């Protein structure tokens, strides 16, 4: 019996992933007078703020001190949080509200497994904070995605075993993390996510019937 659903946030619940990369582009332009290519966005998807900054600096061949690194990460977060001020329930991605209601009606527990340290703030702005049974603090896990830690912690937070859960992601790193946790992976996106157990092209295709059927077929 399916008992738990673990959600990524950016790109699954709301389209805040673009806010992240816009903040990174602004930061790098201001400090290094360099433009980030759009194709770099996929590599920063689903990973922590610090890991994203490391990826960007490595790509640009830029080295900074540990203190400067922390300052850059903090400044990016300030820009990102400011951009979230206008976020409302209207920004929930298509189909997600209905899908969450289906899960609640079926008494399937729900946890947030996002690399975003602003998860609670975003859920509150979207009007979804009260529907989540648990939110994993990214600071509380040893390793970020693509390591499985955050998904294992999310399953534990709602008192479920990995085999009793599904997890939903839109990034390569996220799907890899779910698979490494031996949790049934549900992806939303393109063929770069074909390593997921079940792939949907958009969030509006997500229904409990489709997901549970795929999960049950995988268990046979």
Give the bridge partners for 167, in sequence order. 6, 185
Mean pLDDT of the chain: 94
Which range among 6-10, 12-16, 30-34, 163-167 shows the weakest confidence by mean pLDDT?
12-16
10 is catalytic: yes
Which of 77, 178, 89 is CA-nearest to residue 118? 77
Give the bridge partners for 186, in sequence order. 168, 198
Which of 75, 108, 76 is CA-nearest to residue 209? 108
Cα 112 to the center of its chain, rounded Å: 8
Q: For 169-200, how does the pLDDT look when each residue is reduced to its tens digit (9 = 90+)?
A: 999 999 999 999 999 999 999 999 999 999 99
Which of 33, 22, 20 is CA-nearest to residue 62? 33
């Amino acid at each position: 019996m399916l008992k738990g659903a673990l959600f990524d946030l950016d790109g699954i619940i709301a389209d805040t992933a673009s806010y992240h990369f816009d903040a990174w582009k602004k930061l790098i332009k201001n400090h290094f007078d360099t433009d980030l290519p759009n194709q770099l966005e996929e590599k920063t998807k689903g990973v922590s703020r610090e890991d994203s900054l490391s990826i960007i600096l490595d790509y640009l061949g830029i080295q900074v001190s540990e203190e400067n690194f922390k300052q850059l990460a903090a400044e990016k977060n300030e820009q990102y949080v400011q951009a979230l001020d206008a976020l409302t329930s209207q920004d929930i991605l298509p189909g997600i509200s209905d899908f969450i209601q289906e899960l609640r009606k079926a008494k399937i527990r729900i946890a947030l497994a996002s690399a975003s340290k602003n998860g609670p703030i975003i859920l509150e702005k979207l009007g979804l904070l009260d529907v989540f049974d648990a939110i994993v603090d990214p600071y509380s896990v040893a390793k970020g995605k693509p390591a499985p830690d955050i998904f294992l912690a999310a399953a534990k937070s709602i008192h479920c075993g990995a085999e009793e859960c599904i997890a939903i992601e839109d990034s390569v790193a996220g799907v890899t993390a779910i698979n490494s946790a031996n949790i049934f992976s549900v992806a939303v996106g393109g063929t770069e996510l074909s390593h997921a157990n079940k792939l949907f092209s958009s969030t509006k295709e997500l229904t409990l019937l489709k997901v549970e059927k795929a999960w049950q077929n995988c268990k046979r």
